[in-house]
Amino acid sequence: MKDFAALFARIDESTKTSVKVAALAAYFRTAPDDDKLWTIALFSGRRPKRMITATKLRVWAAEAAGLPDWLFEESYGIVGDLAETIALILPKPKGTSDQSLTDWITHIKTLSTQDEPARRAGILAAWEVLPTQERFLFTKLLTGGFRVGVSQKLMTRALAQATGQDEATLTHKLMGNWTPATTTWTDLIDADDPTADLSRPYPFYLAYGLDSLDELDPATDWNAERKWDGIRGQFILRGGEHHLWSRGEDLMTDRFPELAQLRDFLPDGTVIDGEVLAFRDEKPLSFNALQSRIGRKTVPKKLLIEAPVILMAYDLLEHRGQDIRKQTFTSRRKELEKLIKAVPITTPIRLSASVPFTDWNALAAERDRSRELHAEGLMLKRLDSPYLAGRKRGDWWKWKVDPLTIDAVMIYAQAGHGRRANLFTDYTFAVWNGNELTPFTKAYSGLTDAEFREITAWVRKNTLQKFGPVRQVTPHHVFEIAFEGINASPRHKSGVALRFPRMLRWRKDKPMAEANTLADLKEMLATYG
C-alpha cells in the first residue's frame, strides 16, 4: 500500500503528462503482479463497490477523532471530500502496516460480508495503522469513489513503456469484462493472444469536434453520415454468442434483447461499430425514449414495445473472424453494406446512410436539418482512413449543430471532486416561473479555474442554508447554459430534462430579472423535444 500511495501522490501532485506516465511505468516495472493488476483495474474504473454508507463513516470517524458531529460536518464542508476529511481529522496511527494494496482490497471485500459491528471494528483497526495518505486511499476504496487524474490512455502508454509491448495491443487487451477476480497479470498482460476472450471488443475510434471546414481536404475525399443521438456500441458475434459493449466498456447485452435476432443472420466472427437507437416506423425516436431502458438489466415487454431499438451500423471491424480495421473506410463500408443487405428488414439493424453532397455548402445545409431528424449533426470520415484506437486527429470529425442555450440563475452550489474538492463547481440552476425560481438542471463544466475560484469565494459569503455538502445561495448570478437536447420529464419539478447541460459563460452583464422563464423552456420543448 505504501508504494501505491507514493504512486498516487506523484500523480496527484503533477500536471505534467510525462511525469505521470514515468511514475506509472516505474511502478509497473517493480510492483507485485497482484498490485499491478489492481492498479490497472482501479485506474480503468473497475473499483470495488461501496460497502459502507458515507453517513456511518462520518459517525465512526468523528467518534474515533473525539469530535462532536457539528465540528466534523464543518470540517467536511471546508475540505469538501469525505475521505480527505477523515484522513486529516483522525489521530496519528498507533501502529504500522506492511500490507499490500491487494491485501487491503481483500480486507475490504471481507468486511462487505460481515455484520455492522465487525465492519466498524475492521475499519477502525485499519485507520489506526495507516498514515494519512494511505488512510485517504483506503477510505476512498471503502466508499467506491476512487478516482485519479490519469486517463486510461496514459496508463496504457505507461504499460507499454514498462512491458515493451505495442500500445494498441495493450489497449485491446484491457477491453472487456475482466476483473482482478477473473484474471491474472500474466493472462491479461503477458499472454500473446489478445483475442482469447471471445467477448472482448476493440478500442473505439473517436472523432474530434470540427470547428472549421477549412482544415479539410476537398469534399470528394470524405464520406458524411448523420451523428445519431443514441448509445455508441460494438456488436460482437463470436463462437455463436453475441455481446454488446458501450463505449465506456459497459456490457449492455441483456438491456437490448431484441439484438439477439442478429445471430441468425450475421456470420460468426463479426464485430460492428454502431449506435443503439430507439427506432420506430423507420425513424429514430428521441434520446428520451432510449433513456427509459438505460440502466435496466431486465426489460419488461411493455418497454420493448414502447421503446424498440435497432443497431445503426457505422463500421465493420471484424469480418468472418478477421480483423479488418487496417483496411480503408471505403473497403470496410462495402463489406458492411453486403452484410446488412443480406439481413431481413424485420431485424433490428440498419446501415447508417451516407449523406450525399456536392460541396461543403450543400453539406452545411444538411447539417442544419439535424435536429428535425433527432440527430446531433454529421460525422465526416476520410474515405481512405483505417479504423484506429482512441481519439486521433485528421481522419474522423464530428460536426455538431450549435447547442441550444438559455440564461438561468444559480441557486445551489456543491463542492467538486479530486483537485477541485476545495472549490464549489457543481451548480443547480433555475428559471423564472412567475415570481418564483424553478430549478431545472445541474451543470459542473464550462468555466475556467479562475472563475470557479471567484464563485467559490462568493458562495462562502452568500450561503443561505446548508444541506450536507450542498449550499443554498442568494439568487444573483446568471449563467448561459448550453445543451444538446430537451425532453419532457415528469420526474423533474420543471417538467423538462436537458441533454448534456454545461455552462457556456458567466453572464456578469445580465441581471437575474432578465433570466429566461419556464415558458421559454416549454417553447423549446415543443420545438425540439
Q: Are strands 390-391 and 205-206 parallel, antiparallel or unpaired?
A: parallel
Residue 23's identity, in one-letter code, is A
> Would you state the cell numbers that stand for residue 261, as one nine-digit string?
435476432
pLDDT value for 388 = 94
In contact, 212 and 354? CB cutoff 8 Å: no
Cell triple for 520: 421559454
* Alpha-carbon torsion (314, 319, 325, 328), positive or negative: negative
What is the CA 464 to chain-centroid distance, rounded? Answer: 33
Is the confidence at residue 367, as pLDDT, over 90? yes
Burial 39-51 (b: 16+ CB within 10 A, else e): bbbbbbebbbeeb
Query: Does 192 score more than 90 pLDDT?
Result: no
C-alpha cell at 415: 463542492
Burial of 501 (0-12, 13-18, 19+ CB in 10 A): buried
DSSP letters for 401-466: PPPEEEEEEEEEEEE-SGGGTTSEEEEEEEEEETTEEEEEEEE--SS-HHHHHHHHHHHHHSEEEE
Q: Does the pLDDT value for residue 148 go beyond 80?
A: no
Q: Is the dihedral of CA 172, 174, 177, 182 positive or negative?
A: positive
User: How many Å apart are CA 213 and CA 76, to the nearest integer?
Assistant: 49
Which of 126-130, 194-198, 214-218 is the least confident region?
A: 194-198
**How confident is the model over 247-299, as pLDDT tens digits?**
877 778 888 999 999 999 999 999 999 999 999 999 998 887 887 787 666 78
* 213 confidence band (pLDDT: 50, 70, 90): confident
Contact 64, 91 (CB under 8 A): yes
> Over the Cα atoms of the chain, what is R_g?
25
Give the range among 63-77, 232-246, 395-409 with minimum mean pLDDT. Answer: 63-77
pLDDT tens readout for residues 102-138: 999 999 889 888 899 999 999 999 999 999 999 989 9
Predicted local distance difference test score (pLDDT) of residue 348: 96
Amino acid 413: pLDDT? 95
352: enclosing H helix or E strand: none
State the pLDDT confidence band at 462, using cuts at 50, 70 and 90.
Answer: very high
Residue 195 scores a pLDDT above 60: no
d(Cα 431, Cα 439) in Å, to the nearest integer?
7
Task: Check residue 111 and give its pLDDT.
Answer: 87
Contact 131, 38 (CB under 8 A): no
Q: What is the per-residue DSSP string for 478-498?
A: EEEEEESEEEE-TTSTTSEEE
The answer to whether residue 433 scores a pLDDT higher than 60 is yes
pLDDT digits over 164-189, tens only? 988 877 887 887 778 898 899 998 88
pLDDT at 100: 92
pTM (2 d.p.) = 0.66
Provide, rounded to the nearest whole percent, the portion of the chain with pLDDT above 70: 98
